[in-house]
A = this chain, B = another copy of it.
Amino acid sequence: MHCAAVLAAAQAAPLLRAQLLGTSRRAMATSLLRVPPPQELLRPLAVPDRLLLGPGPSNVPSRIRAAGGRQLLGHMHPETLQVMDEIKAGIQYAFQTQNPLTLALSGSGHCAMEAALLNLLEHGDTVLVAINGIWGQRAADIARRLGANVHELLKPPGECFTPRDIEQGLVQHKPLVLFITHGESSTGVLQPLEGLGELCHRHGCLLLVDAVASLGGAPIFMDQQEIDVLYSGSQKVLNAPPGSAPISFSERAREKMLRRKTKPPSFYLDMGWLANYWGCDGEPRSFFSLREGLAVLAELGLESSWERHRANCSRLCQGLRDLGLELFVKEERVRLPTITTVRVPEGYDWKDITAFLMDKHGMEISGGLGPTVGKVLRIGLMGCNSTSGNVERVLGALQDALRHCRRSRL
């Protein structure tokens, strides 16, 4: 049938046909499509509405969805440049920084981790990676790919690092960069950052912080806490679709990049070019969404956002305890207010519970990640999803699951 279509098209297209006839016999043969149009693409797109209470992405409010549905603009149009200025100002507010080198990458938070490491590190540079979950492991993997001299500072999943832990690592390994995760989404730990920047700088080291899962949901102050590189994602508290990642570099970080002897192994993520004009390959549409996500945060105010996430997280934790469940992170002070980890109770399989919530309640929560696989359930309450109503919904659904998902002992 598609061959017939080709012939029809060829008849309707003398020049195309001539073009094909003009070339070799082989070219003529190749003018017949071998792969027909896929039937599944000829059916309409079907997307159900779901409550996304996993570790992200979280639901996108209608205002931000509307921004995602706007017409594109060219990447050099004044309105686009204006939106980019607004995004820059919004990131500076969310990060609490005055850094001029503040922008959004066209990629996920994961992409921002790579951008931070490949711009800061050169082959042979020593980096110390604080690992208490999967994001530290990932950063160490990427740093090794970049040919860096990687040292690991280890803590069991569910625990956080003390300034003493960090100082010992700095003294022992003399790194140029320390990587640490503020919101460890695989374990639910919120890493205290107070004093770490001063500590690193006293030891001639830059502080690189991953705030993908925590930004807007827990206090962070890039300038006052002397953080040198900070990045996040768009699909967590900001409630924008994935695909644009806020990132900022301090003057110290900028100087290290200017001293590079070698180009970063990427052009796409080379800050030299991005800083000159970021978004050249144009992500205007997801920029619109990110702009709206940052606008919602600016209207709500950071403190109110932090407090809302803290309050709903503690309501959730209390409710989980009331169901007889055990929280994975013992110390309340270091619980991530955006993503709560709870141990899978005896006699249950986490897959049964997450499947039950999806099928019976149209609600996503997730299992563990990396070191917590099989051990925990992860409940995300981020941005517009952080409401007491959603706390009630997920607690009710879990109570229902505990009734129905117990495995008969064999």
Name A's B-contacting residues (CB within 8 A). 2, 5-6, 9-10, 12-13, 15-16, 19-20, 22-24, 26-27, 29-31, 33-38, 40-42, 45-50, 52, 54, 56-60, 65-77, 79, 82-83, 85-86, 89-90, 92-93, 96-98, 106-111, 114, 118, 138, 141-142, 144-147, 192, 194-195, 219, 221, 223-225, 235, 241-243, 263-268, 281-286, 288, 291-292, 294-295, 298-299, 301-304, 306-307, 310-311, 314, 333, 358, 364, 366
Contacts and interface: CB of A to CB of B under 8 A. Distances in A.
A74 B354 CA distance: 12
Given A96-B34, A303-B9, A281 B47 contact: no
B93 A36 contact: yes
Given A223-B34, A266-B266, A303-B6, A286 B243 contact: yes
B41 A294 contact: yes
Contact of A86 (B41, B263, B364): B41
A24 B195 contact: yes
A108 to B, nearest CB: 4
A301 B38 contact: no
B192 A23 contact: yes
14 contacts: A5-B301, A9-B307, A15-B311, A15-B314, A19-B310, A26-B194, A29-B224, A37-B298, A37-B301, A41-B86, A60-B72, A106-B108, A141-B267, A142-B267
A282 B380 CA distance: 16
- 7 smallest CB-CB distances across A and B, nearest first, come from A69-B69, A9-B303, A38-B89, A241-B285, A37-B298, A108-B281, A30-B224
Contacts of A225: 30
Given A15-B314, A38-B90, A72 B45 contact: no
Given A30-B225, A97-B35, A282-B242, A303 B68 contact: no
B72 A69 contact: no
Contact of A34 (B57, B224, B263): B224
Contact of A284 (B9, B57, B303, B364): B57
A282 to B, nearest CB: 5
A242 B281 contact: yes
